[in-house]
Amino acid sequence: MPRTLKAFARVYRWSQWADRRFTPAGIGVVYLMIAAGVFGVDAGRTMGFQVFSVAAALLICAWIGAGRSRPGLRIERRLPDQATVGVPLIYRLVLRSQSNWALPRLVIRDEFEDRFPTRDEFAAAGRQQDPSGNFFDRRVGYPRWVALVRRLRGGTIEPVSTPALPPKTDATVDVAFVPERRGVVRLARARVLRPDPLGLINAVTTLAHPQSLLVLPRLYDVPAIELPGSRRHHPGGLQAAQQVGESQEFLQLRDYRPGDPIKRLHWPSTARAGRPIVKETSEEFFARYGLVLDTFIANDDEIAFEAAVSAAASLTARLALGDALLDLMFVEDRALTVTAGRGIASAGALLRELAEVAPCRDRPFDVLATRVSEHASRMSACIHVLLAFDAPRRDMVQALRVAGVPQIVLVVAREDVAEAEVPVHRIDPDRLAETLVAMPARCR
């Protein structure tokens, strides 16, 4: 397998080099030369060798004519702050001519940083492959490998043509592409292509220009969710909303009362007064909701995982929090809770977290269940986005039900799931838009 992947990488690099160096007309001449060489081996029976000679002479002249290009051009890429999967993105390239002579029409290829798939990623893609697909792809795997490279880099940017530039002038061109994956995509370089006078060979100038772009998950329509739940008491008020335990928000100093936690003692004041003095913190009542994302991927089903992330992102963008808080809970290498609302952070902060969330493969589901149970006493309502509905997940939902927390349970699965005390709505990853819009709008 490693040797095969290395061979794929070499073939891919060569094909990318040929795509840059030869124009479409040049590729045609190359194919003509190869065909003429094959059929012109026997010079006594065919005149193909003459076609081969002419095609080879054209390519040699074009190669010499292309030479080495130094166009004296600087490029500035103006990217937006973020993009969304599946939504066409248009950004601008600013071309600054530093040459003392006019520049002809050029072709700009803006390129992502290539990352080749690992052996495990390639094997996982093979397990998800349709067994009725292309025979060559199933046996060799190169088309599947190329598709995986394209997905890892984030998409494909088509070359754009520039106008002719007078000396020492600026121009702008718009570039469009459709992001194909969420997370951070990295643009590495821009290549300036200048065709030779015959239009067969490009002179290539590479301008290093590393830059990053955050791509948010794809968003879908969901119904307006009604999150009932009463306001609950939160010791320490808003400043304690992002942590478990007592508040750090200072209100006043007062004398110790029996039952006050020892950790509230204000030792400098206690030493000066000669009696126990404690710090009093503010208290507040407000609604606080939970959004639980199941990241414990099973059977390498990346499609179901991405559907779950998109479902959580769609709910985050749709929920009207008002003066409530929303806790996004998930597990990567550890249990994480990200809070938004009431000036702590916006829904956009949660979307940025979801843009980079990764599957968890080396921890038990109990890590997430424990984090949810720690928040149960403070939650007014909870929405679950689960990847299965087995015993551990059912127990987590049942524990919240016993605690009196209203819930919406969404399970991303291709087959029906067993009902529980709390109604379960199945989200089909292959019909995500259709099944999301039909989800329940009320917690139970």
Average pLDDT for residues 268-275, to the nearest whole number?
A: 86
Q: What is the distance, to the nearest Å, from the Cα of residue 438 to the centroid of all Cα atoms in its chain? A: 25
Residue 263, pLDDT > 90, answer no
Q: Residue 219's pLDDT is what?
A: 93
Q: Quick check: 345 pLDDT over 90?
A: no
Per-residue pLDDT, averaged over 167-188, amounts to: 92
- In 3D, which of 97, 47, 58 has the Cα closest to residue 75? 97
Per-residue pLDDT at 253 exceeds 60 = yes
pLDDT at res. 128: 64
Pairing of strands 89-97, 73-78: antiparallel
Q: Are 38 and 71 in contact (CB under 8 A)?
A: no
- Highest-pLDDT range among 26-35, 59-68, 124-133, 260-269: 26-35
Strand ranges (E), 68-169: 73-78, 82-84, 89-97, 107-112, 160-161
Domains parsed from the chain with CATH numbers: 2-216 (2.60.40.10), 248-281 (no CATH), 285-437 (3.40.50.410)
pLDDT band at 83 (very low <50, low <70, confident <90, very high): very high
Q: Nearest to residue 225, comparing CAs of 3, 6, 437?
A: 437
Q: What 3-state class would DSSP assign to 162?
A: coil
CA pair distance 260, 421, nearest whole angstrom: 40
DSSP letter assigned to residue 179:
-
Predicted TM-score (pTM) of this structure:
0.78
- Looking at residue 251, its pLDDT comes to 57
Nearest C-alpha neighbor of 21 from the set 11, 30, 10, 32: 30
pLDDT in tens, 297-310: 877 788 899 999 99
Q: How far apart are CA 424 and CA 438, in angstroms?
A: 12
* Weakest mean pLDDT among 54-63, 69-78, 229-238: 229-238
Residues 270, 414: Cα–Cα separation, whole Å: 63
pLDDT tens digit string along 188-245? 999 999 888 888 999 898 888 899 999 999 999 999 887 775 545 444 444 444 443 3
Please determine, for residue 281, whether its predicted confidence score (pLDDT) is greater than 80.
no
**Which residue's entry shows tokens 């999967």?**
85
What value does the mean pLDDT of the chain take?
A: 83
Under DSSP, the state recorded for 296 is B
Q: Which residues pair with 187 in a beta bridge?
A: 112, 211
